Amino acid sequence: MEPTERARPAPRGTAAYQRRRAVKACQVCRARRTKCDNLKPSCSFCLKTGAKCIQSPVDFSSFDPASLKILERLDDLEQLVRGQNAQDAIAEDFNSLDPLQVGMVLPMSVDELLAKLVSQGRLPPAEMASPRLTAYASPGSFDLEEPSRVRPLLDRFFEYVHVKNPILDETHTRHVVQTTVVNGIDWSAESCLSLLILALGSIATPFGASLDARPGSTEYAQARSYFCAAEKRLGMFLTNDQVIAPQCLFLAGVFLMCTFQPHKAWRCFVQSLACCQQFPFLTPESQRQYRDEVTRDHDPAVDLQQAIYWSAWKSEREVRGYLHLQDFSEHHSMTNLYPSFFPTPPSARAISADTTHQREEMSWYFYLSEISLRRLSSRIAAEMIELQQKHKSRGSFLTAMADLVPSFEEQTIDWIRSLPASLSFDAPIGQDDVCRFVLRGHVVNVYEMIYWPFVTALLDSSSHESPRNESFALLANKGIENHAFRLRVNKQGFYHRHHGTYYMMASCARSALVLAAYRSTPGSSPLGSGVEEAVGLLEYWSDETHDFERVRVHLQQHLEYLQE
């Protein structure tokens, strides 16, 4: 009998473990915390972005679990060393003597941010199709044969448009429009004003989705007819010295903003502001008297001049900040300090229980609150630019800026506390009317500016690592949370057509880009969907403006890649 053959010992680990292939993401996908398809020689994402795809050349399929565990621990140690080296590189970058760019201090434009994120590999490049052009029928003639049709348009104008910029005397203006309609439209200034009011009243809707004022609707066609007729009469105001001239030019700008034509709107706001320069209250002597007098008698004519001056001033500055104008490209457009005086609201004796006067009172509460917030924002921006000019390195600027943030936050909180009860933020967001909605959006803009230096430092950090300074990281996280909050707080106004819809689209697009880039940062926490809703916002208005089409396509492809 042959001796029993001794069995060969089993390989280490096979009794307890089953072999498996360990698939490891490339370095770029690991940094982005996204799935890697491990295609050779480059994964799909690296191939799309042009990034260098670094994958392990070793096949781990024959390794037992214990060996894999050892390799995993060694990999962790390697990552710690690389992370320390990355932090050293960040420190060197932040303390370099290269001049600080304005985009590192104040929020940059959407197009600039998009180009930056694509070049960094945080967003994939996208193939752009030709813009979809929506053909609109030529506006027909307007019908004012029945004066009864005018009253609802007047009501909608004063309730939904004029409430945000009270530049007219409502009682007097209603009389002017109704008289003009009865007597027939001619080439007078009053006829031009009436046509502009009717155009805006035609597309004005209660706060919420403006479904009845979409292109192709009767209301939209009617509005364009009124505006085209008014447009033919605007030329007369270039040499008109009456207050009605800047009023009409301003309302033309508002209509153009509501229909997503910001460049044309800016020209109207500029001309409106130019017409205001001759007003006597702007002379140095009048300004001295204004500051010296504690109380003064109200002059209704001067009050109207101040109101249209302020509306034209802030609207021109606001839209200019979103445009790239060759001869009007101020280095820091948002740092222009606002005029030192406030417009004068109607006198107390004019306030009554009448619905018109109640609306007028509410309108002026909003108007003065918005102006005071804009002045605060302008002052903070000016201080940030001044701080930038004092510091040669990014690190020293961020350190100094971190010391100022508590003061800026407190000033903003003080403004919020000063709001009257009718505009208080204590009410739930879902109960906002259009005035409170606009103010909430402006406050988010202020916070975005305060935290922007730290957010952009996070996005610029080498190797997708967070800034090394703990306070910097904390402030960057506050900024990221504010971007997520912006998409939530603006959601109920995504589909509402008004003067500020274009600005809301731009700011929400910027927030969506920041959040999309943040998702690729190690250690980032989930902040909810918001980006998907922002893409829906840009898609909804894409038939009327193509200014955000590139952003929409990049974000859409980014979301599709994450879902793969």
Phi then psi for residue 340, to 5 deg, are -75, -20
Residue 421, token pair as written in the block: 């009860």
Q: What local confidence, expressed as pLDDT, does residue 46 receive?
A: 72
Given its phi and psi angles, is residue 535 left (phi above 0), alpha (psi -120 to 50 degrees) or beta? Answer: alpha
Q: What local confidence, expressed as pLDDT, does residue 560 receive?
A: 80
Instruction: Report the distance separating Cα 303 and Cα 229, nearest Å.
Output: 29
Q: What local confidence, expressed as pLDDT, does residue 15 receive?
A: 44
* Coil/strand/helix, residue 78: helix
> Nearest Cα to 402, choosing from 460, 465, 476?
476
Instruction: Report the distance separating Cα 355 and Cα 269, nearest Å.
Output: 30
Q: What local confidence, expressed as pLDDT, does residue 294 receive?
A: 45
**Superfamily of chain region 16-85:** Zn(2)-C6 fungal-type DNA-binding domain (4.10.240.10)
How many of the other CB atoms lie within 10 Å of CB of 44?
17
Q: What local confidence, expressed as pLDDT, does residue 445 receive?
A: 97
How many of the other CB atoms lie within 10 Å of CB of 450?
25
Q: What local confidence, expressed as pLDDT, does residue 349 receive?
A: 47
Q: What local confidence, expressed as pLDDT, does residue 563 receive?
A: 66
Residues 6+ apart with CB under 8 A from 267: 253
Alpha carbon 354 to its chain's center = 37
First to last CA, the chain: 64
How open is the CA angle 474-479-481, to the nearest 5 degrees? Answer: 95
Q: What local confidence, expressed as pLDDT, does residue 558 receive?
A: 83
How many of the other CB atoms lie within 10 Å of CB of 422?
14
Helices (H) and strands (E) in the chain, counts: 19, 0
> Nearest Cα to 237, choosing from 227, 228, 226, 246?
246
Assess contact for 120 and 456: CB atoms under 8 A: no
Which parts of 104-147 fold into alpha helices (H)? Answer: 110-119
Instruction: Report the distance separating Cα 477 and Cα 37, nearest Å.
Output: 30
Segments in the chain below pLDDT 50:
1-5, 12-22, 83, 85-92, 294-295, 349-352, 463-466
Q: What local confidence, expressed as pLDDT, does residue 9 receive?
A: 53
Amino acid in position 161:
V
Residue 511, token pair as written in the block: 């927030």
Domain range list for the chain:
16-85, 147-563
Is residue 21 classed exposed, middle or buried when 0-12, 13-18 and 19+ CB atoms within 10 A define those classes? Answer: exposed
